[in-house]
Amino acid sequence: MDPLTHLLTGGCLGRAGFNRKSALTTLTMVLAAEAADVDVLWGLKSQLAALQHHRGITHSFVGVPFMAAATLAFVYLLHRLRLRFWPPKPSSAGQQRPAVRWGYLYFVAVLAALSHLLLDYTTAYGIRLFEPFNYRWYSWDIVYIVDPVIWIVLIGGLAVPALFGLINQEIGVRSKGPRGRAGAIVALVCLVLIWGVRDNQHRRGLDAMNSFLYRGAVPQRVAAYPYMINPFHWHGVVETADFFETVPVNSLTPEIDEPQARLFYKPEETDLILAAKSSRFGRVYLDWAMFPFCQAQKLEGAASGYFVDFIDLRYTYPEGSRRTALGGYVVLSPDLRVLQQGMNSWTSPTVESLERQSQ
């Protein structure tokens, strides 16, 4: 999921009652809920390094206790700096601040770190839960990477109690402890209900896809990937012995929009294709992709060689483009040496640009 969803989830977890036993609980859970995404720093090296390492060891069960410990160390540093430079004012009569319980904070940091794994598991991108012992990707495929409905639910769970708190303060109602418990719990329950609805619709979509013949062929493998808001609209991907096909799926009916299907014939495993797949980019990309598809084009003119384009069909939504489908490329010389390789971006080379550069 996106960072905002992780942070909001951590905030709701902290407000759901954990913050009544120790100071700094909500801060700790907010930071721990997002800590695993520190691996995005691999993007400073290259996009390919980011693809290779993102959602790896920091997103695994092995990494959870270390992410929690790192978060707690950071919170401890902030706490010491605050005590030194901004010491807290004495509490008003009748109000007692909870003490800082570091062992308890480590426990809640572990819970928040586990929430990160669960949220990322619900998406189609996948997560390597058991690295470094098992590098398999796991995904539930029920939630889009960014879901505004979940944002609204989590923000509401945090904002509405705060609004009522301001109203109570205005009318002089005495505070009985940390506010927002009920709102946070309701938000988390709504999040689980959203998952339940999406999981039900996901299964209905898959059942519909499995009951269909594709150009007379029986599907070997099917998958359905979510859209941002509509829980009944899915991007279906089918694999048969000879081709892939992407189809829009309506899980409410349920039905498949066969006229809107797109066909991708599997390429022959030639020396050219094998050379591209054996490149560093090819190895990293094929390790991550669920429905990889590649096609080769010969470069004309002085730009002799081959351009091999890689895409993962789970991201070839009809509304998108190849440049936004988390794909990549490998440029090979006539003798199949790797000349260029990398992830697709708006500045990455195309067949046309390479041919223009050689003129």
Residue 175 has pLDDT above 80, yes or no: no
Domain boundary (80, 112, 146) is at 146
CB 245 within 8 A of CB 214: yes
Residue 155 placed within a domain = no
pTM assigned to the model? 0.90
- Per-residue pLDDT band for 345 (boundaries 50, 70, 90) equals confident
Name the residue among 67, 60, 64, 65 with its Cα closest to residue 131: 60
Residue 340 has pLDDT above 70, yes or no: yes
Q: Is 158 left (phi over 0), alpha (psi -120 to 50) or beta?
A: alpha
Same domain, 300 and 238: no
Q: What is the predicted pLDDT for the residue at 265?
A: 95
Q: What is the predicted pLDDT for the residue at 348?
A: 75
Same domain, 105 and 134: yes
Cα(355)–Cα(299) distance, integer angstroms: 7
Retrieve residue 357's tokens. Answer: 């550069």
Same domain, 139 and 239: no
Domain boundary (146, 172, 206) is at 146
Residue 60 placed within a domain = yes
Residue 180 placed within a domain = no
Name the residue among 105, 117, 116, 24 with its Cα closest to residue 70: 105
Residue carrying the six token digits 């050689």: 358
pLDDT digits (tens, 9 = 90+) for 14-23: 999 999 999 9
Residue 153 placed within a domain = no
The range of the structural domain enclosing residue 334 comes to 270-357
Same domain, 116 and 207: no
Residue 169 placed within a domain = no
Same domain, 214 and 136: no
Cα(180)–Cα(195) distance, integer angstroms: 23
Cα dihedral across residues 6, 8, 14, 16: positive or negative: negative
Domain tally, the chain = 3
Same domain, 142 and 21: yes
Average pLDDT, the chain: 90
Residue 93 placed within a domain = yes
Cα(182)–Cα(176) distance, integer angstroms: 14
Domain boundary (264, 288, 323) is at 264
Same domain, 115 and 58: yes
Residue carrying the six token digits 């062929």: 217
Q: What is the predicted pLDDT for the residue at 185?
A: 95
pLDDT digits (tens, 9 = 90+) for 198-254: 999 999 999 999 999 999 999 999 999 999 999 999 999 999 999 999 999 999 999
Cα(44)–Cα(49) distance, integer angstroms: 9
Q: What is the predicted pLDDT for the residue at 319?
A: 72
Same domain, 229 and 312: no
Q: What is the predicted pLDDT for the residue at 173?
A: 47
Distance (Å) of CA 87 to CA 27, 28, 80, 279: 17, 19, 10, 57
Same domain, 9 and 138: yes
H helix intervals, 54-147: 64-85, 102-121
- Per-residue pLDDT band for 31 (boundaries 50, 70, 90) equals very high
Q: What is the predicted pLDDT for the residue at 293?
A: 95
Same domain, 251 and 296: no
Residue 49 placed within a domain = yes
Whole-number percent of the chain with pLDDT over 90? 79
Same domain, 244 and 291: no
Cα(187)–Cα(154) distance, integer angstroms: 5
pLDDT digits (tens, 9 = 90+) for 32-77: 999 999 999 999 999 999 999 999 999 999 999 999 999 999 999 9
- Per-residue pLDDT band for 304 (boundaries 50, 70, 90) equals confident
Same domain, 246 and 141: no
pLDDT digits (tens, 9 = 90+) for 84-104: 888 877 665 455 678 899 999
Retrieve residue 180's tokens. Answer: 């927002």
CB 351 within 8 A of CB 260: no
Residue 170 has pLDDT above 50, yes or no: no
- CB under 8 Å to 173, separation ≥6 — which residues? none
> Rg of the Cα trace of the chain?
25
- Per-residue pLDDT band for 321 (boundaries 50, 70, 90) equals low
